[in-house]
Amino acid sequence: MPDRLTSSSNERALRAAYRHCRRAVRRRDPVEYAVMQLTPPALRPAWWAMWAAFAAADDIADDPGTDRAERAARLHAWTTQLDGDLAGGRSDDPVRHALVDTVHRWDLDLGTLHRSFTTLAADTGGREFATWAQWSSWVRGTNHSWAVEGLRLLARAGVHIPLWLDRTESYRRYLDGLYLTDTLADLGDDLSRGELLLPADVLASFPGAEDDLRAGRYTPAVRDLVSHLTGRARHWLHQPELLGGLPPGPAVVFDAATRLFLARLDAVDAAGGKLLHQPTVPSRVTRWRLLAPARAQTALARRLLSCPVDHRTPPPPAESRGTVVVESGPVTSPPPHPGGARPPSLAPGELPRHVAVIMDGNGRWATQRGLPRSEGRREGSTAVREAFHGALELGLPYLTLYSFSTENWKRSTDEVSELFALCREELRTHRFAQYGVRARWAGSPEGLPEDLVDELLRVQHETRHQTRLTLTLCLNYGGRAELTRAARALAHRAASGQIDPARIHEADLAAQLSLPDLPDVDLLWRTGGEQRVSNFLPWHAAYAELHFTDALWPDTDRRDLWQAVTAYTHRRRRFGSAPRVPEQPRSSAPAPV
């Protein structure tokens, strides 16, 4: 019994240690954190621990509040304690505790990491570089050991990254590009500590820039210097040939990381004077745009290639934003229909896999009653719950709801903001996970209130492991915009040599859509009497069966969904083929879905 208590308190301490590291990365470097989160979940704690350990040692090495001797002594003490902790298998310091666990768990080589600490210790007196060559050699001394151990970690997890000897210089240049980008993005922070981590010769070629930088002045000389440096970093990072030969999962992560760092350089160029006072990160919208497809692709790659790492998973740090993550578990049945109606009994083979709904007629419902239009949408939220409860009772795997189109921005500001407020409220109060619903969002964050975007992403994250029904909310969604984004992404990949334009197939375009795994729509149902599709899921609904009903959305309930599905089971789907034998009128024969 005492053993069990000890082991559970150890486990708690370990969770807390990893949680501490995770918070450190997320707060200080959201871009690198986002890249780490693209890797298989079992590996993420190890990245957080390694990142946090490097940051902790680096902070000691350039702490402006202490003198050189003290910095050197503190760093020495820190690394000595690390060795002791490693021998004892645990530490009182959360960062070292997590690192020790990571080193043991993955059998990493602490000796390699010591090389990085030694380089840091050597320059506790201040870092100055005369030339790019000196700068590079310092960067390599401090950073490469982490890259080497990162590769070792991947190899231990069964993810083998092939390295080519004749690309050694390219790898180094790439890492220099990452570091130069970091340096530029954190220029303000370094300057506030009196540090300017750039070679003297490059500073000298922009007369006046160094003095201006140190005085916190953003002048034309500084701007030209910064744009020269972002150009150099872009050149180092842009090496599409490095993607060649990488396995699919790592290729997506590498590609996404590169794009994020390039976006960070764009943000540095655009930051103007702010660059000297605050860290520069790409906007949330840009990050989201780059990460959403990468997240879907890495998840898909993980599903396709079984990842052999799970047995090494450390106790997962609980979500640290105060929200409760409800993982898959026993799910509750949805509340029954108020009138006691039961779903039609349809065989699983008859059911459509994916039903998409245009919930139209809210405005008219309200106007007919002399109410403001937004009241119709409020009333419609009961019908939304009815629809997804009905989908659960029926056993539908995918339900997609059109909540706000990119064209709906043409409505009055009041109507739009009330609608967003209502969506936010619905997201906050819905208990998707309780019913086993994985809720996802398709659409663009552009123009949406940040807290609504946060709410959508939160719900998406919290319900990601649910499997009973996938409910996709199309909010600020436009079908043409989605296709245009996908075409742009493909054009980008073709222009950078990653794909051959002559070999672009439908699946390649589908892979660039917001939710690449969303299946084709089998049944598209629109309420409110209009017979059009209003820019809704043009790719997925190319072969959908269409079903239009007159009822206004707030007047519908789950029985209307069941009727739509029953009508669908009477359709004959041919997908371009001709019937072999003359067709008989159908009553209840299964539909060839």
The span of 7-15, 306-314, 317-325, 358-366 binding ligand IPE (CB under 6 A) equals 358-366
* Catalytic residue check, 535: no
* Interacting span for ligand IPE (CB under 6 A) from 79-87, 173-181, 329-337, 405-413: 405-413
Structure tokens at 96: 């070292």
Residue 406 is a binding residue for ligand IPE (CB under 6 A): no
Which residue of 530, 543, 550, 586 would you call a contact of ligand IPE, by CB under 6 A?
530
Report yes or no: 447 and 485 within 8 Å, Cβ to Cβ.
no
How many CB atoms sit inside 10 A of residue 451's CB? 10
Q: Please answer whether residues 518 and 397 qualify as being in contact, where contact means their C-beta atoms are separated by less than 8 angstroms.
A: no
Closest approach of Cβ 551 to ligand IPE, in Å? 12
- Distance between CA atoms of residues 400 and 426, nearest Å: 16
| Separation between Cα atoms, residue 308 and residue 552, nearest integer Å | 51
Q: How far is the CB of 149 from Mg ion (least distance, A)?
A: 57
Name which of 415, 331, 349 is nearest 378 in CA terms: 415
> 513 CB contacts (<8 Å, ≥6 apart)?
482, 483, 486, 539
Cβ distance to ligand IPE smaller for residue 496 or 535: 535
Spatial separation of the C-alpha atoms in residues 74 and 80, rounded to whole Å: 10
Question: Pattern 108-137, binding to Mg ion, x per CB under 5 A?
Answer: ------------------------------
Binding mask 508-547 for Mg ion (x = CB under 5 A): ----------------------------------------
Q: Which stretch binds ligand IPE (CB under 6 A): 21-29, 106-114, 125-133, 357-365?
A: 357-365
Active-site residue, selected from the candidate residues 62, 101, 182, 360: 360
Q: Which amino acid belongs to residue 157?
A: A
> Nearest CA to 400 among 454, 440, 436?
440
Amino acid at 123: D
Taking the complex as a whole, the smallest distance from the CB of residue 396 to ligand IPE amounts, in Å, to 19
Query: Least Å distance between CB 235 and ligand IPE?
Result: 45
Q: Residue 33 or residue 402: which is nearer to ligand IPE going by CB?
A: 402
Among 404, 435, 525, 562, which residue interacts with ligand IPE (rule: CB under 6 A)? 404
Alpha helices by DSSP H, 37-131: 44-61, 68-88, 94-106, 110-122
**C-beta separation of 179 from 143 below 8 A:** yes
Write down the least CB distance from residue 552 to Mg ion, Å: 10
Which single residue is written with the structure tokens 């500590």?
193
Q: Which does 396 bind (CB under 5 to 8 A by kind): Mg ion, ligand IPE, none?
A: none
Q: How far is the CB of 403 from ligand IPE (least distance, A)?
A: 6
Q: Which is nearer to Mg ion, 360 or 557 (CB)?
A: 360
The answer to whether residue 476 is catalytic is: no
Asked if 361 interacts with ligand IPE (CB under 6 A), we say yes
Examine residue 528 and tell whether it contacts ligand IPE (CB under 6 A): yes
Rounded Cα gap, residues 49 and 405, in angstroms: 42
Minimum distance between the CB of residue 102 and Mg ion, rounded to whole angstroms?
A: 54
The yes or no reply on residue 419 touching ligand IPE (CB under 6 A) is: yes
- By CB under 6 A, residue 45 contacts ligand IPE: no
Q: Single out the segment in contact with ligand IPE by CB under 6 A; choices: 1-9, 38-46, 508-516, 528-536.
A: 528-536
Contact between 405 and ligand IPE (CB under 6 A)? yes
* 360 sits near Mg ion (criterion: CB under 5 A): yes
Structure tokens, 118:
């030694």
Number of residues interacting with ligand IPE: please give it, by CB under 6 A.
Answer: 19
Cα Rg, the chain, nearest whole Å: 28
Stretch that binds Mg ion, among 236-244, 358-366, 403-411, 424-432 (CB under 5 A): 358-366
Paired residues of 317 in beta bridges? none
Contact of residue 209 among ligand IPE, Mg ion, none (CB under 5-8 Å per partner type): none
Max Cα separation, the chain?
93
Residue 532 contacts ligand IPE per CB under 6 A: yes
Q: In degrees rounded to 5, what are phi and psi of residue 524?
A: -110, 115
Of 14-22, 215-223, 362-370, 511-519, which segment contacts ligand IPE by CB under 6 A?
A: 362-370
Across 299-425, the runs of DSSP E, i.e. the strands, are: 354-358, 398-405
Minimum separation from the CB atom of position 358 to ligand IPE (A): 5
Containing 425, the helix (H) or strand (E) segment is helix 413-429
Residue 408 within binding range of ligand IPE, rule CB under 6 A: yes
In angstroms, rounded to a whole number, what is the distance separating the alpha carbons of residues 355 and 471?
A: 10
Give the pairing of strands 354-358 and 398-405: parallel
Instruction: Give the phi and the psi of residue 48 in degrees, each rounded to 5.
Output: -60, -45
Cα 478 to chain centroid distance, Å, stands at 21
Bridge partners of residue 565, in order along the sequence:
none
The dihedrals phi and psi of 89, each to the nearest 5 degrees, come to 85, 5
Active-site residue (options: 408, 517, 535, 555): 408
Question: In terms of CB distance, is 254 or 548 closer to Mg ion?
Answer: 548
Residues that bind ligand IPE (CB under 6 A): 358-364, 377, 402-405, 407-408, 419, 528, 530, 532, 534
Would you please indicate which residues are annotated as catalytic (active-site) residues? 360, 408
Residues that bind Mg ion (CB under 5 A): 360
